[in-house]
Amino acid sequence: MVAALLTVVAQTGLGDIVVRDFAGRDVRLAAPAQRIVALAPHITENVFSAGAGDRLVGAVAYSDYPEQAKAVPRVGNFQSWSLESLVALQPDLVLLWSSGNGIDTLPVFDRLGIPVFVSEPRKLSDVADTIRKIGKLAGTRAVAEAEARRIEHTLATLGDEYRREQPVSVFYQIWNEPLQTVNGEHLISQLMALCGGYNVFADAPSLAPKINIESVLARDPDAIVASGMDTARPEWLDDWRGYPSLIAVRSGALFFIPPDHVQRPTARVLLGARELCRQLATVK
């Protein structure tokens, strides 16, 4: 028993940090990361939430939140970044977004000896989890833990407050032309569940399917929630008034939430959750 423990300690080294990432890999660091590169806007945001924003030496385009993130040097965008500029930053930790950056780049980093943490937040609980893990890797555990607890607490409180006997049906509209929504896999569907609602298109076959007006009429949601391109309520949300038979139109349940508050798996989902809960609470 003792011998087994000793060999484990000998293999990992005493001061080692070991964190399991979202791809199920164990990420090992000898010391807290000092030079971090984040390859997606939501990861950058989570690094700041974990209190490790000052360790960030590289980010990608559209890493625009918080304000300080805009000053972080860029290595490209989330789909194509320059490996050279990334290496030139001499990172001791790279945070990769597997569905956006592609998991196939992992061997390249392995060859270069740069540790990679793969992030793929899909569930609401993954937000706090990611922040906690980044805090552990960057040695900013106290800040990260406090932020993670705040997120979990707020979500739990909202869930208790807005739980309903009869959940309201919600249609989330990403865009009008083409008419696009999300299915049950998306974070937004979990926000709906938290706020006492459910996604009418939860059963759709892809994450962000293209649908048509007729299927919205067929499912007749209690509320329509739309995100536009930025922080302004899209004008096309009022196009639904052309279909007065819709329950959501009759009761005026046409709502807007800024896309960054519901589409990014970061601490800002709390903003989206609060807005959505308040909006759905006015239905019926």
Partner 1 sequence: MRASGRAGVSTISAAVLPAPRTLRARRVILALAALLPLCLLLSLGSGAVNLGVAESLSALYQAIAGEKSSQAAVIIGQIRLPRALLAALVGGVLAVTGAATQGLFRNPLADPSLIGVTAGASLGASLAIVSAGTFTAGLLGFSVVSLGAFVGGLLTVALVYRLAQSGSGTSVATMLLAGIAVTALAGSVGSLLEYQASNEMLRRISLWRMGGLDGANYQRLLVAALVCTPVLAALPRFAIPLNAMLLGESEARHLGIDVDRVKWSLIVWVAVGVGTCVALAGTIAFVGLVVPHIVRLMIGPDHRPLLPACVLAGACLLLLADTLARTLMAPAELPVGVVTALVGVPFFVSLLRRRHQYGMQ
Q: Is 207 in the site for partner 1 (CB under 8 A)?
A: no
Using the rule CB under 8 A, is 62 a contact of partner 1? Answer: yes
Q: Is 74 exposed, middle or buried (0-12, 13-18, 19+ CB in 10 A)?
A: middle
Binder to partner 1 among 204, 248, 269, 277 (CB under 8 A)?
204
The residues, ordered by sequence, that sit 6+ positions from 275 with a Cβ below 8 Å of its Cβ are 257, 261
Residues 201 and 219: beta-carbon distance below 8 Å: yes
CB 176 within 8 A of CB 242: no
Q: Find the binder of partner 1 among 83, 219, 247, 281 (CB under 8 A).
A: 219
Considering only residues 16 through 35, tell me which ones interact with partner 1, judged by CB under 8 A.
Answer: none
Q: Which of 22, 81, 172, 201 binds partner 1 (CB under 8 A)?
A: 201
Q: Which of 157, 212, 251, 282 binds partner 1 (CB under 8 A)?
A: 212
Nearer residue to partner 1 within complex by CB, 183 or 190? 183
Return the ∠ at Cα 99 (arms to 97 and 103), rounded to 5°: 75
Distinct helix (H) and strand (E) counts, the chain: 12, 10
Residues 86-105 that bind partner 1 (CB under 8 A): none
84 scored as a contact of partner 1 (CB under 8 A): no
Task: Give the residue ranges of DSSP H helices in 13-140.
Answer: 41-49, 83-88, 98-101, 106-112, 125-138
Q: Which range in 129-137, 239-247, 249-257, 270-278 contacts partner 1 by CB under 8 A?
A: 239-247
213 binds partner 1 (CB under 8 A): yes
Output 46 or 140, the one with its CB closest to partner 1: 46
Query: With binding defined as CB under 8 A, does residue 232 bind partner 1?
Result: yes
Radius of gyration of the chain, Cα coordinates, nearest whole angstrom: 21
For residues 127 and 187, is the Cβ–Cβ distance under 8 A?
no
- The Cα 83–Cα 229 span in angstroms is 30
Nearer to partner 1, 85 or 176 (CB): 176
Closest approach, Cβ 215 to partner 1, in A, equals 4
Which residues form the interface with partner 1 (CB under 8 A)? 62, 77-78, 80, 175-180, 201, 203-206, 208-215, 217-219, 228-230, 232, 234-236, 242-243, 245, 259
